[in-house]
Chain A
Amino acid sequence: MAGRLPIWLLAGFAALQPPLAHAQLHRGGELRLLTHAASGTIDPQINYEGAFWQVFSITYDGLVAFRKAAGPAGNELVPDLAEAIPAPQDGGRTYRFRLRQGVRFSDGREVGVEDVAASFRRIFRVSSPTSGSFYGGIVGADACLKQPTDCTLAGGVAVDAARREITFHLAAPDPEFLLKLGLPHAAVLPADAPPLDVGVTPLPGTGPYRITRYDPQTALRLERNPFFREWSKAAQPEGYPDAIDYQFGLSAEAEVTEVENGQADGVLDTIPPDRLGEIGEAHAAQVHIQPELAISYLPMNTRIPPFNNLQARRAVAFAIDRAALVKLAGGPALAEPLCQILPPGLPGHEDYCPFTKSPGTHWSAPDLDRARELVRQSGTAGQRVTLITAATPAGRLMGEYLQELLRDIGYDAHVNSISNNIEFTYIQNTNNNVQISTSAWMEDYPAPSDFLRVLFGCASFHPSSDSSVNISGFCNQAIEAEMDQAMALAITDPDAANRLWAKVDRDITDLAPAAVLLVPHAVVLVSTRVGNFIYSDQFRWILSQAWVQ
């Protein structure tokens, strides 16, 4: 009897229909993804690879999460397993959360405060790579770092089961603590999760999907978590595909061909340069390009000749033709020049480029004359310089170009390519006396300190160690003081802190411990049937939101 119903009721119904129908319409199907190899363990508290963080973002949850949205909104924190994001108390040393009720793990058990506390202890028990760098500020963490097996975090994490409250006590104020809680290393796992790297055995999680199969040689499969009920669309929305299938083992060329043929839904590897033109012309609607919060740069060793000389370093920064490097990367759609440490889009970024023909905010052209003059003045002309790059086709191209450049400004330059998977640790170890190398850094979380303090802070320099991310060996006390000041300021006045970080960025850039080259863009190729492509800076393509039908 629709004719007898009041118009306003019908109108109301009509207004409601689209979102529900939308969701129903696109729900279902299997998303088939291709990537050349697995990325290590599926233990969310140990794995530190972006490729698997993408998986963990839809299989696990922390107390807070980064909003699953594109653009700047995707860098904001929203409450996830916690009911709300607390204001820091006690001068930034105490954070009190209230746990949401009714959330279940993929094995059916309800999440309780004891699970949260146990998960934080587990970070130390399994020797997570960030246990020291990110979570070392929690009271009791020192003891845990020394003796991981007996970790209690006493005084650091307190729970109240009756009020469903978890309280964190930090040894010193940390304005970035909340950001770190949004990372997979801080995922909430069942209290009885084994205190060791689970390797290939998935742990139960709270996300809309659970890992059902993992064979690092062939495949990874995610299926719906039967116990998931959406509690926050911003933090962890319900997923559209019924299952997500990763197939390992194909080369990037083969992957592109399969997606073009419609035999798979997405390529998660870097597109080979000789296919870019093809996909840009014939499959333009299936290509998604996004600048990353990452930099490609050349760390220079500030402790051994010739780059222990400031003028020599600045010469290199002036000489590099970033436009040529952009071209080598595949054109302006795939990279953009950058002179400073912080990439655009990161809080604290203020355009700054001193190393160009007319210094100002943006790079325009290299200044070879100035570079040669600086080399001459520095007295390092003619010295032997060896550039280390990774033995990948792109690495070799960049390496040969840079070798030529270094020769042009007056050095006896040589280039050496090392197997890709050990290049990163090789260039960090001071025993190898690496003068200059190629490297890249991607954000862990959207904060300036993740670039400036991690890459150029004194605490990140460990001589004779394979793990010394401050590859340049840069340690400047004045700048350290500025960074400490910015960290402290961030608790009370984030905007002022960001301005101070921008100043730190300029100061470090001027001292050129590294020559920054470009901001890379991520290129994702999907099949024609994939819709609703959302790319977040933090977790890349949000797979749970893809439509496959």
Chain B
Amino acid sequence: MRRIWRDKAALLAALVLAALLVACAAAPLYARLVSGTDPFRSNITGTIMLDGHATQVLQPSPGGLQLGVTPIGPSWHAQYLLGADGLGRDLAARLLYGGRTSLLIAGAATLCCLALATLLGIVAGYFGGIVDAILARLLDLLWAFPVFLLAISLSIVLISGGLQLGPLHIEADSLALPVSVIAVIFIPYVARPIRGQVITLQRSEFVLAAIGIGAPSWRILARDIMPHVATTLAVFAPLVMALNLLTESALSFLSIGVQPPAASWGTIIQDGQELLYTRPLVALAPGLAIVLVVVALNTLGDAFRDALDPQARLRGRG
């Protein structure tokens, strides 16, 4: 374990991640003390003082036919650090608030997805035969499933005050919705590679040896197969996290889960779509945040895996 802390890159990654999490958690403090704006209120006709001049937050185009308005760009000061979005709200503050929601949704979805996918992948790969056939077809069905159709349908059903699933009542703004939808659609993405891995592992020498000496299935699974699957999971976790963060964007567009005026990195990306040619930072900033999280998780995952696995040496020295 101590080896992790000696890995400088991993240390850096952990620090970055921690800093991000703290910053997001401190979003209300930022909004109140630093930016001084309410990130959930529009500011269409407001002005701020920039370099001594009063500038409109949504600036009309200068010259020509005066068509269009452009939100102010990054001021690199406390107020509107990264500029404003299409409604004149402080982008930096919204980014921090958005981080809380996005990380929560994506984190929860990733955990569920990995857990379920591992279960399905191992069961299908290990037991083979008809179990595998059924599960593999189920995975095919899931992967070919028209998720967007379901999302559109769901968004309309939710309008009239929530979804009734038997005894369960789910409100339109319940975060359980995007978490479950996102988790489920990516299950095949992790389950199939795991299944493939288990199929090959089953035939590997140490497993055959274990079977030969009469070890019970659960023992084989726990001692011989799981560690390998765990390393695959360590690779997939950041990936799935990235995909989940991005998928959340599409769902927020249809008001599933995150409801206006609440922000998530996904809603900010959508807001940025209309501003790509004038203020690409609005769509880019959440994208960069996502990249940061994913790279950090990646590096940590690698370090973790390396630390747990001392005998993995590549070039046959020693």
Shortest Cβ distance from B207 into chain A, in angstroms?
A: 51
Shortest Cβ distance from B256 into chain A, in angstroms?
A: 10
Asked if B277 contacts A331 (CB within 8 A), the reply is no
Asked if A397 contacts B261 (CB within 8 A), the reply is no
A interface residue count range (under 10 / 10 to 19 / 20 to 34 / 35 or more) = 35 or more
A278–B67 Cα distance when bound, in Å, is 8
Asked if B156 contacts A280 (CB within 8 A), the reply is no
Asked if A418 contacts B155 (CB within 8 A), the reply is yes
A418–B172 Cα distance when bound, in Å, is 14
A274–B68 Cα distance when bound, in Å, is 7
* Cβ contacts under 8 Å, A324 to chain B: 42, 44-45
* Cβ contacts under 8 Å, A386 to chain B: 159
Asked if B276 contacts A403 (CB within 8 A), the reply is no
Asked if B64 contacts A280 (CB within 8 A), the reply is yes
Asked if B156 contacts A418 (CB within 8 A), the reply is yes
Q: With A274-B274, A323-B45, A386-B159 in contact, is A284–B260 under 8 Å at CB? A: no
Shortest Cβ distance from B269 into chain A, in angstroms?
A: 12
In the complex, per-residue mask of A313-353: 1 if CB is within 8 Å of any chain B CB, else 0: 00000000101100110111110000000000000000000
In the complex, per-residue mask of A259-287: 1 if CB is within 8 Å of any chain B CB, else 0: 00000000000001111111111101001
* Cβ contacts under 8 Å, B160 to chain A: 432-433
In the complex, per-residue mask of B76-113: 1 if CB is within 8 Å of any chain A CB, else 0: 00000000001100000000000000000000000000
A394–B64 Cα distance when bound, in Å, is 24
Asked if A273 contacts B61 (CB within 8 A), the reply is no
Task: Count B interface residues, CB 8 Å.
Answer: 40
A334–B260 Cα distance when bound, in Å, is 26
User: A6 contacts the other chain (Cβ, under 8 Å)?
Assistant: no
Closest to B259 in A: A414
User: B65 contacts the other chain (Cβ, under 8 Å)?
Assistant: yes
User: A503 contacts the other chain (Cβ, under 8 Å)?
Assistant: no
User: A393 contacts the other chain (Cβ, under 8 Å)?
Assistant: yes
B contact face: mostly helix, strand, loop, or mixed:
loop
A330–B44 Cα distance when bound, in Å, is 11
Asked if B87 contacts A397 (CB within 8 A), the reply is yes
Asked if A278 contacts B87 (CB within 8 A), the reply is no
Asked if B67 contacts A279 (CB within 8 A), the reply is yes
Asked if A404 contacts B69 (CB within 8 A), the reply is no
Interface residues of A in 421-460 (CB under 8 A from B): 422, 426, 432-433
* Cβ contacts under 8 Å, B67 to chain A: 276-277, 279-280, 287, 289, 330-331, 333-334, 523
User: A476 contacts the other chain (Cβ, under 8 Å)?
Assistant: no
* Cβ contacts under 8 Å, B279 to chain A: 274
Shortest Cβ distance from A35 into chain B, in angstroms?
A: 19
Asked if A328 contacts B44 (CB within 8 A), the reply is yes
Asked if A276 contacts B61 (CB within 8 A), the reply is yes
User: A83 contacts the other chain (Cβ, under 8 Å)?
Assistant: no
* Cβ contacts under 8 Å, B196 to chain A: none
Asked if B69 contacts A330 (CB within 8 A), the reply is yes
Within 8 Å by CB of A280, from B44, B66, B155, B271, lies B66
A273–B61 Cα distance when bound, in Å, is 11
In the complex, per-residue mask of B262-295: 1 if CB is within 8 Å of any chain A CB, else 0: 0000000011011111110000000000000000
Within 8 Å by CB of A277, from B68, B253, B254, lies B68
- Name which of B65, B160, B275 has the most chain A CB atoms within 10 A of its CB: B65
Q: With A281-B61, A415-B260, A417-B255 in contact, is A330–B277 under 8 Å at CB? A: no
Q: With A274-B278, A274-B279, A324-B45 in contact, is A287–B260 under 8 Å at CB? A: no
* Cβ contacts under 8 Å, B69 to chain A: 273, 327-328, 330-331
* Cβ contacts under 8 Å, B42 to chain A: 324, 400-401, 404
Shortest Cβ distance from A441 into chain B, in angstroms?
A: 23
* Cβ contacts under 8 Å, B275 to chain A: 273-274
- Name which of A272, A388, A399, A426 has the most chain B CB atoms within 10 A of its CB: A272
* Cβ contacts under 8 Å, A394 to chain B: 274
User: A27 contacts the other chain (Cβ, under 8 Å)?
Assistant: no
Shortest Cβ distance from A528 into chain B, in angstroms?
A: 16
Within 8 Å by CB of A333, from B66, B70, B260, B270, lies B66
User: A26 contacts the other chain (Cβ, under 8 Å)?
Assistant: no
* Cβ contacts under 8 Å, B87 to chain A: 328, 397, 400-401
Q: With A331-B69, A334-B67, A403-B261 in contact, is A419–B152 under 8 Å at CB? A: yes
Asked if B156 contacts A426 (CB within 8 A), the reply is yes
A401–B279 Cα distance when bound, in Å, is 20
User: A242 contacts the other chain (Cβ, under 8 Å)?
Assistant: no
User: B41 contacts the other chain (Cβ, under 8 Å)?
Assistant: yes
Interface residues of A in 348-405 (CB under 8 A from B): 386, 388, 391, 393-394, 396-397, 399-401, 403-404
A-B contact pairs, 15 of them (CB 8 A): A277-B278, A280-B64, A281-B61, A284-B64, A323-B45, A324-B44, A327-B45, A327-B58, A328-B44, A328-B87, A330-B67, A332-B66, A404-B41, A416-B159, A419-B254
A interface, CB within 8 angstroms of B: 253, 272-282, 284, 287, 289, 321, 323-324, 327-328, 330-334, 386, 388, 391, 393-394, 396-397, 399-401, 403-404, 414-419, 422, 426, 432-433, 523
